[in-house]
A = this chain, B = another copy of it.
Amino acid sequence: MLKKERQAFIIKEINLHNKVLSSDLSMALDVSEDTIRRDLNELALEGRVVKVHGGALSKSYQMAAVQADTYAYEKKEIIAMKTLKLFKDGMVILTSGGTTMREIAKRLPESLQVTFFTISPLIALELAEHPKADVILLGGQLSNASKVTIGAEVVQKISEIKADICILGINGMDLDGITDSDYEIVQVKKAMIKASKQMIIPTISEKLNTALRYKVTPTADIDCLITELSPLHDTIQPYLSQVKLVL
């Protein structure tokens, strides 16, 4: 077997599996691991693969990892635009925290006249930039990790509100229901759902079909599910029958 042939095989293998192990290739091609290593080093030098300890990864794999900070930015933008269409003048909107909600807050149209209740200081500050929006920050103990207010006082305050819609950021959701990993936050979210006529869930599709420790609410209670995907997309199909409206 020629060297070029061998390297072509390696590239093919990487394109297929996004990674290769030196040991596997050594077996498959029946050459010493040293030879494989030399091949991988050459390919890495040409920039065709990314060499790592034990084997190599595809270039695209590495790229995805690098631009992780702009993770899902475009998706969240799409979701934000879809969500904003549901806002009408005079509405009372109850919202949790999360980066998706923040994207929504940033894009709030100037002309819109709505009242926001929120448990997130960050979202509150973002909304405060808006000239016509009324922003009420729900006070309470500030959670160190998630940077939203939690505790009995918040739950109590929320119970006194009658909101038109509540925008709930989520961390996990499957056909069974919405789940979260923080017990305190679950309590607050439950109160938010109870206080609102409609529940809207904006989320990137990746969070679908994942479950966390604590249940927030069954999927059937969702009034509107908003993802970056078309409602016709395969991933969304199972949810169509459960959720009233999917955007």
Which of A's residues lie within 8 Å of B, judged by CB?
Answer: 2-5, 7-8, 11-12, 15-19, 21, 48, 50, 52-55, 57, 59-62, 64-65, 68-69, 71-72, 98-99, 121-122, 124-125, 127-128, 131, 134-147, 149, 154, 157, 171-172, 181, 206-207, 210, 212
Contact = CB atoms under 8 A, between A and B. Distances in A.
Contacts of A98: 18
A210 B57 contact: no
State how many copies of this chain the complex holds.
2
Q: Most chain-B Cβ atoms within 10 A of its Cβ — which of A4, A62, A145, A206?
A: A4
A19 B3 contact: no
Given A17-B212, A149-B139, A125 B122 contact: yes
B172 A149 contact: no
A139 B140 contact: yes
Contacts of A172: 17
Contacts of A157: 139
Interface of chain A: mostly helix, strand, loop or mixed = mixed
A116 to B, nearest CB: 9
Given A60-B69, A172-B17, A4 B52 contact: yes
B65 A8 contact: yes
A4 B20 CA distance: 12
Rank and list the top 6 A-B pairs by shortest CB-CB distance, nearest first: A139-B139, A121-B121, A135-B142, A15-B71, A8-B65, A4-B52
A103 to B, nearest CB: 11
B138 A139 contact: yes
Nearest to A18: B171
A131 B5 CA distance: 46
B54 A2 contact: yes
A17 to B, nearest CB: 5
Nearest to A52: B4
30 contacts: A2-B53, A2-B55, A2-B57, A3-B54, A4-B52, A4-B65, A8-B61, A11-B65, A12-B68, A17-B172, A18-B98, A18-B146, A18-B171, A21-B181, A52-B145, A57-B145, A59-B69, A61-B146, A121-B121, A121-B124, A122-B125, A125-B147, A128-B143, A128-B147, A134-B141, A136-B140, A136-B142, A137-B137, A137-B139, A137-B141
